[in-house]
Amino acid sequence: MMENYMNENFLEVKAKHSPIEVLQKWRNFCGVVKNPKRRFRFTANLSKRGEAAAMRKSNQEKLRIAVLVSKAAFHFMEGVPAGDYVVPEEVKAGGFEICADELGSIVEGHDVKKLKFHGGVDGIARKLLTCTTNGLTSDNELLNRRQEIFGINKFAEVQARSFLVFVWEALQDMTLMILAVCAFVSLIVGIAMEGWPEGAHDGLGIVASILLVVFVTATSDYRQSLQFRDLDKEKKKISIQVTRNGYRQKMSIYDLLPGDVVHLSIGDQVPADGLFFSGFSVLIDESSLTGESEPVMVSTENPFLLSGTKVQDGSCKMMITTVGMRTQWGKLMATLSEGGDDETPLQVKLNGVATFIGKIGLAFAVVTFAVLVQGLFTRKRREGTHWSWSGDDALEMLEFFAIAVTIVVVAVPEGLPLAVTLSLAFAMKKMMNDKALVRHLAACETMGSATSICSDKTGTLTTNHMTVVKSCICMNVKDVDRQNTASSFSSGIPDSAVKLLLQSIFNNSGGEVVVNKEGKFEILGSPTEAALLEFGLFLGGDFQGERQTSKLIKVEPFNSTKKRMGVVLELPEGGLRAHTKGASEIILAACNKVINSNGEVVPLDEATNDHLNATINRFASEALRTLCLAYMELENGFSPNDSIPLSGYTCLGIVGIKDPVRPGVKESVAICRSAGITVRMVTGDNINTAKAIARECGILTDDGIAIEGPDFREKSQEELLKLIPKIQVMARSSPLDKHTLVKQLRTTFDEVVAVTGDGTNDAPALHEADIGLAMGIAGTEVAKESADVIILDDNFSTIATVAKWGRSVYVNIQKFVQFQLTVNVVALIVNFSSACLTGNAPLTAVQLLWVNMIMDTLGALALATEPPTDELMKRSPVGRRGNFISNVMWRNILGQSLYQFIVIWYLQVQGKALFQLNGPDSDLILNTLIFNSFVFCQVFNEISSREMEKINVFKGILDNYVFVAVLSSTALFQILIIEYLGTYASTSPLTLSQWFFSVFIGFLGMPIAAALKMVPVSSS
């Protein structure tokens, strides 16, 4: 019944990309909740999201108009008189000649006319006291002045809430407010009848219980908020390449100021508004700001770059003009930050459970109140006093009402959805220490259900520390031994070929060789580029000298679709030359000539081609990454607007780059396999390289298949159905191949898929996957933004750790749900049946509030924060269709509830005779015994709940200090309540034998729980 209710109303919410209508639907089903402020705290703020969408639409319209106006201005600029801009006095006093508002209007308004009036990019650079070559100086006084006048590159954030705000929110609980009113009335009536302080005990007891519940709840929630705040800080750590003081260096985007020179490449996010001043083939994706999917070409004619947009292709330098809240991105982010994270499917599911049980609890509470009141009327009628009502009768009615309200407090498992958040916050914080930054809450729990991981090779399975170890230049295959000198390596290679090779390496590169602050050479760029540049330096090349000799006419940066990079150079002696490099077999196929061992250019015949292909395969089978370098002479008619030719090249040589497998990867792959998770390698590399690495990692087995992307693309749907389950390696894959594989696994095979990615082109696959894992070191900002988890050390072993934590979150919440539902069922049935059969409830309002705190906040702290164990990775994954409340859990809940109910009911019926209780205090002592036994049943049940299927529940118990602290404090407070706070909690001190009996009754639940675990149940 519960599962049907859940599936009908709460199952449409997905881990990613749930529509607004679906998110709104489940909120409507929750209807009236005890404390909406607390229940919906960690869910998306749909109204703020609506505001952000409206802002995007407005930006789109503004930019559309700005572009049209700037185009019109461009045509009619000649003859237009210059504007009459006046520099504000405070800006002049700072030494600058242009203000922040003027800069903002130029870039945001795409105002070509104003830009020209200020002297273009160079003119604005002068007015900002900066230089496009060396960037800003590090003069602290000037930097501080610049910051005061132009602002900082940060957007306004929601102010962190103080502890008192959480106390106030905890007080918003409707049932606690009703109990507070009951306590107030009880105080007034009690004092009026019995005087102070005797008449105030009941009321003060309820007030004290409410305050304790509020304080503990607020403390737990406040600690969670601090954890989320720390994680938010980590998420915002974005660095970018900047030139300051003439040195290129990495800087946080939040330290950028107007006048800074920033280097952008594919996958970078534009960190602030600014102006392009040099670069090639720059395509900008403005969809994050405007919602417009069509990329925009940026050049000297259209130099405007807007904060928050992404570099889709090309590379360039830009000068920052506007920062922080002065940009549209800053305003949009300030609104978006209030929108919050999407709620996770588990949060929604448990909201459904809480709502379902809450409705049952409310019905029970109404019936309990009605039965108790009816019992009072019957007694008064029997006594003949039904027409005369005293203050005692009013207090008794008030107590009945308080019990009914407290049944609702206990029956509604308000802590269920909040336990998810607590467990996720705990896991996310711990995962940070394990080098995994969770960007979206849902990723934690989804990773626990993962059945398949599609991993990159480079940098994830390998170390990403690349070096050229073999080469085939002028048909000579040589080992690159750093112990030997460059001259001994170059012997046998003609000087003309070495010169061409160095020209290719240093000019056709996305990296740079720079001099750092210590005056030493430093190589910047991707590991592949760095390996080639290091090889060029080993050959005795001069990076800066080579760059200054020739002039770059066109650059086509590397991307994973083309698998090649190309440049066109204007040579000092005249003429144009194109250089290309990339995937060996692709570049070799584009060559029709080769340089032979004499340095002569000769046609590439079949025998030579076979020799070079055999060399490529030999390098690849040794697990080396191979690159081919080639060049061609171009005719003078080539224009920068033309594409670089794709064929007709002369092969310069082939290099083999070693990228060793990371330590521990093989073991991690084995762990994933034992956990029922299939690991697949998806790489752009040569198939032989991929197979060699996959075998070394333990990914490729004898019954597995390695396939190339182009072959995969050609397969029909019927062929894919047979093929995909066997695929373990996909080489030479394009981003589309990766996306297709992920989509097929998710839809056709119903798998829960985790995908790793580092490049801009991986974004679609990361977006499509159930869990997108971006690389923290090698990953671009576009990839990171599309991902759910960022692997900070780029290590596959960390992915296995994320899977373990995901399973831990899932299992921990199951443990807590099992424990809480047991308490719910017993407390509900005990009070209801007792009220119906005896006319009074054994557990008072104060006692039920204490029980509620044990099972809610304290129970969540104890069970939802259990650290993961290696045993978790020996179970099969839950997958997409697993029931959260499993048959195993129902067996444990119902069995334990039945035992507790029988014990409590037996005490209620036979307790007085069993303990020979007589006299006026006998009812009070018996109720105290029942209360004490009930609490200790929960204490020992909490220990039993640590394992749902295993009998040994003590393994690792001392490793979880939170669990030990919660149990110890619960037992200590219980002793205090029974022995010293009886006046307020309606309890009486117990004898040693009565204490022993209470604790023994609780302890007996553990062997019963162990016996229950031996009862077999079906998994479905």
Pairing of strands 296-298, 304-305: unpaired
Note if 456 is an active site residue: yes
Taking the CA atoms of residue 975, residue 978, residue 982 and residue 984 in that order, the dihedral angle to the nearest 10 degrees is: 70
Beta carbons of 629 and 581 less than 8 angstroms apart: yes
Beta carbons of 967 and 939 less than 8 angstroms apart: yes
Q: What is the CA radius of gyration of the chain?
A: 35
Beta carbons of 771 and 446 less than 8 angstroms apart: yes
DSSP 93-135: HTT-SS-HHHHHHHHHTT-HHHHHHTTHHHHHHHHTT--TTT-
Beta carbons of 258 and 91 less than 8 angstroms apart: no
Name the residue type at position 267: G
DSSP annotation of 648 = -
Provide the CB-side half-sphere exposure for 913 (13 A, CA). 4
Among candidate residues 221, 260, 342, 456, the one labeled active-site is: 456
Sheet containing 771-775, strands listed edge to edge, beginning at the edge strand earlier in sequence: 436-438, 789-791, 771-775, 753-757, 452-455, 678-682, 727-731, 705-708
- ∠ CA(685), CA(686), CA(692), 5° rounding? 95
Is the link from the previous residue into 88 a cis peptide, with omega within 30 of 0? no
672-706 burial: b if 16+ Cβ within 10 Å, else e: beebbbbbbbbbbbbbbbbbbbbbbbbbbeeebeb
DSSP annotation of 660 = P
698 backbone φψ class: left, alpha, beta (φ>0; ψ -120 to 50): left
Closest CA to 508 of 526, 527, 533: 533
Structure tokens at 853: 């705190």
What are the backbone angles phi and psi of residue 467, rounded to the nearest 5°? Answer: -145, 140
Angle of helix 887-915 versus helix 992-1013 axis, rounded to 10: 150
DSSP annotation of 753 = E
Closest CA to 807 of 743, 719, 871: 871
Beta carbons of 680 and 728 less than 8 angstroms apart: yes
β partners of residue 756: 773
984 backbone φψ class: left, alpha, beta (φ>0; ψ -120 to 50): alpha
Q: Where are the beta strands (DSSP E) in 214-332?
A: 239-244, 247-252, 261-264, 273-285, 296-298, 304-305, 310-322
What is the spatial distance between Cα 762 and Cα 779, in angstroms, rounded to a whole number? 10
Residue 626: partners with Cβ closer than 8 Å, 6 or more residues away: 584, 616, 619, 620, 654, 655, 656, 657, 686, 689
Beta carbons of 462 and 527 less than 8 angstroms apart: no
Separation in Å, CA 791 to CA 247, 433, 758, 812: 29, 11, 10, 23
Separation in Å, CA 299 to CA 250, 310, 524: 24, 15, 24
What is the spatial distance between Cα 153 and Cα 323, in angstroms, rounded to a whole number? 5
Beta carbons of 872 and 973 less than 8 angstroms apart: no
Catalytic residues: 456
